[in-house]
Amino acid sequence: MTTAHLSTPYLAAAADAKLEDWGPLEEATGEPMQTSGTTLWSGEGDQDTGVWECTPGPSRWSLEANEFVHILSGRMTVTPDGGEPTDIGPGDTAVFPRGWAGTWQIHETIRKLYVLF
């Protein structure tokens, strides 16, 4: 029997990690918003995890995958279509299920851990 050895993706101090420029946010609905991030791991299909940061502004989302987020810094208000707004900030965790559609109003640059699955 052969045992496969898989590496363990690891990122020390995600709140302070150096991020790559990921360019302008395509979902922005106002002034241009700048994103940066780092991918910690990518799997099959929509599976992906890492750190994402975005400057303030409004954006519109229609998710094709489930997304789990944990906010490291910054604040935003998320409002699902036909639903009530929810304020999310440092230490908060949220799940946006596949098919979720609505707006994100980022009030101050946000940094989040994300898992797409």
CATH class of segment(s) 25-116:
mainly beta
Domains of the chain, residue spans: 25-116
Query: What are the backbone angles phi and psi of residue 93, rounded to the nearest 5°?
Result: -125, 140
| Diameter over CA atoms, the chain | 57
pLDDT digits over 46-55, tens only? 899 999 999 9
pLDDT digits over 68-101, tens only? 999 999 999 999 999 999 999 999 999 999 999 9
The SS3 of residue 35 is strand
Q: What residues form DSSP beta bridges with 34?
A: 24
pLDDT digits over 12-49, tens only? 999 999 999 999 999 999 999 999 999 999 999 889 99
* pTM for this model (two decimals): 0.91
pLDDT at 46: 86
What distance in Å separates the CA atoms of residue 26 and residue 112, rounded to the nearest whole number? 18
